[in-house]
Amino acid sequence: MGLKNHSLIKKINRAKILNSIRLKSPIARSQIAAVTDLDRKSITNFINELLDEGIVEESGKQGNVSGRPFTMLKFIDKYAIGIYIAPHYTRGVLLDFYGNIHSSHEVEYPLYTDLVTINKAVENVYQVLSKKHCPDLGVGICMPGIMDMVNYVMLDSVNIPSLNQVNFKENFSSIIPGKLFFEEESRSIALAEKWFGRGKDYNDFVVVEVSGGIGMGIVNDRHLFKGAGQYAGEIGHIVITPDGDLCRCGNHGCLEAYASERKVAKLLSEASGLHFERLCYFNKDSVSDEEYRKIMRQTGEHLARGLGAVINIMCPKVIFLSGAVVKLFGKDLIACIQDALQKNCPFGSLNQIELYVSSLEHIDAIGAATLPLAEFFEVPGYFYV
């Protein structure tokens, strides 16, 4: 066996051990061996390395009916920061290895704000969170748009135009010290669902985020599917009504023009006689139940047209929905979508699909925080959590 292969196998086995501790902590050496199918000697060597590196620690004894008590292992506290840059705000979370949020912070700003304001918000979020705990693993940043991940340039962000043509690595490295990781917003949300949501139970699924924009993250065999051009998932710009309403992207009839947070907020503002741009400020008592349900049904019907295209092409086993619009309407929106899907999909394909509302709070920023975690726990192309 060549040195290269030996090194790769060692990385994979180490990742398996780390992930078993993440999932089962506190855990004994013999239990790690049972989970990973590695021999006791290898486990001992790896654990000694992790102890010496200050990554794990022994955390007491646990009874063993067949012999000596187990010596249990757990991680020494280490953290990652995830920052989500949205059209109206920047949000961050301080996350540990297990997905626990130890702190969160958010800074608002006007829609279509300038880059200087966004940078100040990102810096403020980072400073507040890093004062709680040092982000040992690094900082992940996610944002909406078409991102060139080779040259680190934002090619087109429909909902945050001040990011267009910005070298985001250079820009944010001047604000935040240490190692930075980047990903598109919807793909980050899919990672959050995979690591810490109900997606833990599935190898393949999609997550559709319905907020300021509408995007889709695709998980295939436990890793992100990005497509040959690295931009897979732009469901928001599927045309559902030819020559329909003008979308921010410049085309007419896009799903995003009919079911985004901006559109739903506009409809609810008109119905209530009030004005708000973010749905978190909407008070359900300000409109009649009939008007509220009418807007919800319309939104569900529009989303079903976009989801119908995804189902007909990909036939995913599971679809998770997240975002401000989904949070507002909840499971009632799922029922509206399921009814409308009957008109957009063959009956047989619908029987195969499960549709859920994601239960993760701050899913976007959590997804950004999984980016540094992935470097620690995964071996790209060989082992994914």
Which CATH number is 42's domain given? 1.10.10.10
- Same-domain check for residues 178 and 155: yes
- Same-domain check for residues 104 and 142: yes
- Same-domain check for residues 47 and 160: no
Tokens 């529009």 — which residue?
302
- Residue 348 banded pLDDT, cuts 50, 70, 90: confident
Say whether pLDDT at 66 is over 70.
no
Say whether pLDDT at 290 is over 60.
yes
Q: What is the mean pLDDT of residues 60-73?
A: 78
Domain coverage including residue 169: 79-185+364-377
What confidence tens digit (pLDDT) does each residue in 82-91 have?
A: 999 999 999 9
- Same-domain check for residues 257 and 119: no
Say whether pLDDT at 343 is over 70.
yes
- pTM for the predicted model, two decimal places: 0.94
- Same-domain check for residues 98 and 62: no
Distance CA 125, CA 129 (A): 6
193 part of a folded domain: no
Residue 206: its pLDDT value, please? 97
Is residue 360 a contact partner of residue 366, using CB atoms and an 8 Å limit?
yes
191 part of a folded domain: no
Residue 1: its pLDDT value, please? 46
Q: Which residues pair with 147 in a beta bridge?
A: 154
Residue 346: its pLDDT value, please? 75
Q: What is the mean pLDDT of residues 244-267?
A: 95
- Residue 338 banded pLDDT, cuts 50, 70, 90: very high
Is residue 368 a contact partner of residue 141, using CB atoms and an 8 Å limit?
yes
- Same-domain check for residues 267 and 330: yes
Helical residues (DSSP H) of the chain, grouped into ranges = 3-24, 29-36, 40-52, 115-132, 168-173, 185-196, 256-259, 261-272, 289-314, 324-329, 331-341, 347-351, 363-377
Can you give the CATH number for the domain in which 247 is found? 3.30.420.40
- Same-domain check for residues 69 and 86: no
293 part of a folded domain: yes
Is residue 90 a contact partner of residue 83, using CB atoms and an 8 Å limit?
yes
Residue 329: its pLDDT value, please? 97
Percentage with pLDDT > 90 across the chain? 88
Distance CA 90, CA 125 (A): 7
Q: Which residues pair with 357 in a beta bridge?
A: 321
Q: What is the mean pLDDT of residues 231-242?
A: 93
383 part of a folded domain: no
23 part of a folded domain: yes
Say whether pLDDT at 3 is over 90.
no
Close Cβ partners of 110 (under 8 Å, ≥ 6 residues apart): 88
DSSP-derived pairing of the beta strands 318-322 and 354-357: parallel
The tally of domains found in the chain comes to 3
- Same-domain check for residues 100 and 243: no
- Same-domain check for residues 161 and 35: no
Stated as kind and residue range, the H or E segment containing 354 is strand 354-357
- Same-domain check for residues 128 and 46: no
- Same-domain check for residues 241 and 327: yes
Say whether pLDDT at 4 is over 70.
no
192 part of a folded domain: no
Q: What is the mean pLDDT of residues 195-207?
A: 96
202 part of a folded domain: yes
Q: What distance separates the 2 farthest-apart alpha carbons in the chain?
A: 74
What confidence tens digit (pLDDT) does each residue in 112-126 have?
A: 999 999 999 999 999
252 part of a folded domain: yes
- Same-domain check for residues 208 and 308: yes
What confidence tens digit (pLDDT) does each residue in 156-188 have?
A: 999 999 999 999 999 999 999 999 999 999 999
